[in-house]
Homo-oligomer: A and B are copies of this chain.
Amino acid sequence: MSSSKTTIKDVALKAGVSIATVSRFLNNIPLKEGNRKRIEEVVKELNYQPLLYARRLAGGKLDTFGLIIPGYEGIFYSFYALEIIREVASSLGVKGIDLHLNIFWDKDNFKTSLIDGVIMADVIGNENQLKRLVAEDVPLVVINRQIEDVDVSCVAVNNFKGAYEATEFLVHHGHKRVAHLAGDLRVKCAQDRVEGYKSALEKNGVALLKDYIKITNFSRKEARFKLEELFSLKNPPTAVFCCSDEIASEVLNFAEERRIIVPKELSVVGFDDNPHCLYGNLMLTTIRQPLKAMVQQAVKILEENVESKKSTQQIVLDTELIIRDTVDFI
């Protein structure tokens, strides 16, 4: 009530200083200790909160970052999205930065005037938006995706390498019939994982079978159809590398129903290290994505860019193989 109406003027008046001095106080510019203290008291007493938009209009910052996430189901309905939102909110929270969330559905309605900078979580379907933001010179960092044709900072995960390691891990356990349940290939990370898988087989002299690569679009339902197909094959796989832990846990369910013993008869590796997929008596062997680190890096870079235009940076973080129960020698 009252607090929403108190302005810098009221504070200045009550503290017996000019509004400029109060402004300095708000911006942590050194003051005579006496004044600093008096103002601090008055601010508390009046429960004064500066109007951020007035501040911004006068040239200050909004202390708000935007986060743009594609509304595409495979992304937005995933562990990934919530984890990103959570981590962005969390890292911004400790810095006192607010979060403006925008889901990109089909048209670009992101209002740049409400933020100091933007994090784009992956780019799928909104490539034009990316270009527009770059053109408007909005401080920007893209996560989980490397952008080749636009000069923009990004922090990504080495999906290729992660997939390579996962697949090689299976091969090193003697598996020759390794299937891959892939994600939606419109999503870059899904593509990269397929490539990593292929490359690992090739480098290790294992024949690549087309029938062993199945697209799931990250959906459990789709995964199930594809599993039926895989296990109707003359030579069903002895190992499956999955594009996500959720898909992997569907493999576990499927195996359970079919009485296929994991890992004795079937080895499984996931991707994500999603804690929600760690249940049952079998702990999933998986590739951990450094999502938190990725977000933290992105926030750091964005802060720098907001402070002063820096040159763009491209960072690629490594994944980590987490060895648990679902892989065995054949």
Chain A contact residues, CB within 8 Å of chain B: 1, 3-4, 49-54, 56-57, 62, 64, 67, 71, 76-77, 81-82, 85-86, 89-90, 93, 96, 98-103, 105, 109, 111-114, 135-138, 220-221, 224, 246, 250, 253, 256-257, 276, 278-281
Whether B250 pairs with A279 at a CB distance below 8 angstroms is yes
Whether B103 pairs with A1 at a CB distance below 8 angstroms is no
Q: How far is the CA of A112 from the CA of B51 in the complex (A)?
A: 9
**Copies of this protein, total:** 2
Partner of A105, one of B67, B82, B90: B90
Q: How far is the CA of A114 from the CA of B4 in the complex (A)?
A: 12
Q: How far is the CA of A278 from the CA of B224 in the complex (A)?
A: 11
Partner of A114, one of B53, B101, B135, B257: B53
> Could you tell me the distance in whole angstroms from the C-beta of A281 to the nearest C-beta in chain B?
7
Contacts of A281 in B (CB 8 A): 257
Whether B111 pairs with A114 at a CB distance below 8 angstroms is no
- Chain B residue with the shortest CB-CB distance to A221: B279
Contacts of A71 in B (CB 8 A): 86, 89-90
Whether B49 pairs with A111 at a CB distance below 8 angstroms is yes
Sort A-B residue pairs by CB-CB distance and give the 10 closest, nearest first: A53-B53, A89-B103, A220-B279, A101-B101, A51-B113, A4-B136, A52-B113, A99-B101, A53-B56, A82-B82
